Structure 1
Amino acid sequence: MCVRWYVAYGLSVRNLEEMMAERGIEVDHSTVHRWAIKLLPILEKAFRRRKRPVGKS
């Protein structure tokens, strides 16, 4: 969820840390950053495969 919010809404990792704390989940901003570094290439690859081509006439 944090990585999705980080990418989709351009939130900082410190803001995400606060948002998760409001929901009762204690997570450090450096952990969120490590998750993003690890998961973003995997997510990009998966989304690129499913992306529909545009601009074909």
Structure 2
Amino acid sequence: MAAYPVAIGTLKEEETIGAETKLRQSKYLNNVIEQAHRNIKRIVKPMMGFKTFNTARRTLSGIEVMNMIRKGQVKGVKPGDKMSRVKFIEAIFEIAA
């Protein structure tokens, strides 16, 4: 792990990143990211890949948005409230259920 501080120093010298940028080393940080994407992995695995980059980008974006709606990370949608989710999706796509 000694290469990380050298790399950060080089990036700061080249002004690729700001001088005020701090290095946070945490061996558990990746676990949070992996747990957040566990649901996506579970959904995508049976699809056996995508044919084009744009198909992958659109599909993964849709999955991410639906997870955000489910978690209540969207303004006006309460976590765990199915009716507010349904109303939000109806409003976006202008559909009536």
Structure with greater proportional helix content? 1
Structure label with greater radius of gyration: 2
TM-score by length of 1: 0.41
